[in-house]
Structure 1
Amino acid sequence: MRKIIVAIPLVLSLMACGDQAQDFDATGTFEATEVTVSAQLAGKLKSFTVSEGDNVKANAVLGEIDAYQLQQKSEELVAMKQQLSATETATDAKQLNLQKQVASLEQQVANAQREQQRFAELVKDGAVPRKQLDDISNQVRVLQRQLEATREQIRSNNAALKAQARGIEAQRQGVEAQQRQLADQINNAQIVAPRAGTVLEKYAEAGEFVTPGRPLLKLANVDEMYLRAYVTSLQLKHCRVGQTVTVMTDYGEGKQKRTYRGVVAWISSRAEFTPKTILTDDERADLVYAVKIKFKNDGYAKIGMYGEVKFND
């Protein structure tokens, strides 16, 4: 009879343990939005002082790739552009000089014609010999030929100058396009944080040679994290995007769980087999749906850590 009395409390204890309700509806692991920052330029890492665990601000300069050759090329393009401007200025000056010559010749022709008219009157009155009138008339003809030759040169130059101007403008646009391209490449020499976050991993060190596309570091925003949990088809009926839930994680060593207010941010539209490390409300469920729950992290939750979720009624 004593054996029966001893056995009954043991059975009751086991039954009580089996009937204890779990205080979560689903489990999963914590994750964050991760960004891999890669090199956009080939060259030697001049500086890269950021370390794993550092918190960085958005657009912060984390390092720099040597862009000396690109800077040299940029200076050469500046010199080419200056040379084009100098050529354009010299051409304009040459044309202006011809125009001044035309104005001077026009004035000389006008003066000579007045003298010609004056000498014609004097010859008519017999005051001066005919030869003087002939001389001034010859001078007028010479000046007129010079004036017409200069005007023809200007007309000829205008056609050539227009073609030259188009060529200079085309070269200038080409140089400016190269300058913009080089400016982008030189700007890409700086390693910039695309967003605020914590450096999770660092893949290179200062002094190494990097190529475009090579990963340099990984950032994550651990202030706003997600719990990727899995729910059964039965639970899915009561789960919706925007729903407020309770996210939990253990302090460890049997202490009270740490809780966060979470919001369902995403629900998968496709079922999958239950991952081995995941517990659900129905342990017999073979197919589950992934959900992502967003919450504000106080610094305790870590990427990859186990977490639980309780769907609020």
Structure 2
Amino acid sequence: MKKTIGLLTLILLLTACEKKDEFDASGNFEADEVIVSAQQNGELTSYTIQEGQQLKAGVKVGQLDVRSVELQKEQVEASIAILKEKTVNPSDQSELVRRQLAVQKSQLTQQLRERTRTENLVKADAATRKQLDDINAAIDQLKKQIAVTQQQLTLNTYNTNTQNKNILSEKSPLEKNAEQIQEQINKGQIINPIMGTVLVNYALQGEMQVIGKPLYKIANTSTLDLRAYITGAQLSQIKLNQQVKIRIDKGEKDYKEYRGTIIWISSKSEFSPKTIQTKDERANLVYAIKVRVKNDSYLKIGMYGEVLFN
């Protein structure tokens, strides 16, 4: 009887161990890794990146030498300044003509008063008709001169504005050129794109860099995704946003558990990767899933993990 009880106890323990070792899917943890590259050619004059360093998005972590590009911008800005000096103020250009016009109008006013006075004298037989005709002729002549002067003033203003417009038409392309050069200067700054941890550093201060050359690799490891694989028969057991249990090895015989959320289920099957174990090892085709897990700093990219749906 005692032997029977002992045998039953051993069977139960073995069964419990077998159940504990069971899992529905397994895979490795991953994160979206960003490789930050140089966007300009030049010497890396300052650089503060270290592997394992925590960085915020938008912080400046380095500077490339862009002095030659800055000189190009200064040259363009000097050309823009010269254009302003070439322009002419229409008022200054036509000042002489306006003064001439003012004199002519003053003379016309004087002749009009003289004509009135002469008309009265003619009526009183104190002046001849010829004197009145001479004044009328002078008035007519002044009116024609004033008309010509006004046309000249208008023409001078038009010509000056046209000249200035032609000069200033060169300004817009130069300003656009300056903006493009400024963009190149801005690209000399190494700006960290995302919040995360520096995984790998490829560069050192003082090295020459070229456009596209990797500087460092960074990833946000505050949450990691466990990429696991399931069989087609298991698809009916899961859905998006489903809460599942994740466990990783803790020592030789124990596990550390986490709560995770299924954020992606592949719509296409694929051949089972050799490095991935599934519940049904006889299946040739599997479906990939991603389970998002909040990281307590213990999880690492590439670490093996197991998924339990229930």
Task: Flag whether TM exceeds 0.5 (same fold).
Answer: yes
Determine which of 272, 295, 298 is the counterpart of 1:274.
Answer: 272
The alpha carbon displacement at 1:160 in A equals: 2.3
1:40 lines up with 2:31 in the alignment: no
Deviations 1:137-194 (A, max 9, x none): 9999998787566444433323323432432342222122122222222222211111
Any conservation in 2 of the 1:105–1:143 contact (CA below 8 Å)? no
TM-score, normalised on structure 2? 0.80
Counterparts of 1:258 and 1:18, CA distance in 2: 18
Deviations 1:241-290 (A, max 9, x none): 11111111122343x32222111111112222222221111122222111
Equivalent residues in 2 for 1:32-181, closer than 5 Å: 32-88=31-87, 90-98=88-96, 100-110=98-108, 113=111, 150-181=149-180
1:284 lines up with 2:282 in the alignment: yes
The secondary structure found in structure 2 opposite 1:51 is: coil
Counterparts of 2:159 and 2:40, CA distance in 1: 43
The secondary structure found in structure 1 opposite 2:169 is: helix
Deviations 1:206-251 (A, max 9, x none): 2222222222211100001100111111112212111111111122
Deviations 1:118-151 (A, max 9, x none): 9968x98989xx9xxx9x9999999878756644
Inter-CA distance 99–81: structure 2 relative to 1 (3 Å threshold): farther
The secondary structure found in structure 1 opposite 2:162 is: helix
The secondary structure found in structure 2 opposite 1:20 is: helix
Any conservation in 2 of the 1:98–1:150 contact (CA below 8 Å)? no
Aligned to 1:245: 244
Q: How many residues align?
A: 296
Aligned to 1:222: 221
Deviations 1:73-109 (A, max 9, x none): 2222322223323333x33343352454244333543
The alpha carbon displacement at 1:300 in A equals: 0.6
Cα root mean square deviation, aligned = 3.5
The secondary structure found in structure 2 opposite 1:237 is: helix
Q: Which residue identity is paired with 1:166? A: K
Aligned to 1:207: 206
Structure 1: gaps spanning 5 or more residues: none
Any conservation in 1 of the 2:111–2:138 contact (CA below 8 Å)? no
Structure 2: gaps spanning 5 or more residues: none
Counterparts of 2:106 and 2:150, CA distance in 1: 15
Any conservation in 2 of the 1:53–1:198 contact (CA below 8 Å)? yes
TM-score, normalised on structure 1? 0.79
Inter-CA distance 78–250: structure 2 relative to 1 (3 Å threshold): same
Deviations 1:272-313 (A, max 9, x none): 22222211111222221111111110111101111111112x
Inter-CA distance 295–69: structure 2 relative to 1 (3 Å threshold): same
Counterparts of 1:19 and 1:251, CA distance in 2: 16
The alpha carbon displacement at 1:112 in A equals: 5.6
1:303 lines up with 2:274 in the alignment: no
The alpha carbon displacement at 1:49 in A equals: 1.3
The secondary structure found in structure 2 opposite 1:250 is: strand
Q: Which residue identity is paired with 2:59? A: A
The secondary structure found in structure 1 opposite 2:170 is: helix
Inter-CA distance 98–297: structure 2 relative to 1 (3 Å threshold): farther
Deviations 1:53-72 (A, max 9, x none): 11100111111122212222
Any conservation in 1 of the 2:94–2:156 contact (CA below 8 Å)? no
Counterparts of 1:99 and 1:294, CA distance in 2: 82
Q: Which residue identity is paired with 1:73? A: Q
Any conservation in 2 of the 1:101–1:150 contact (CA below 8 Å)? no
Counterparts of 2:80 and 2:296, CA distance in 1: 56
Any conservation in 1 of the 2:101–2:150 contact (CA below 8 Å)? no
Aligned to 1:192: 191
Any conservation in 2 of the 1:105–1:146 contact (CA below 8 Å)? no
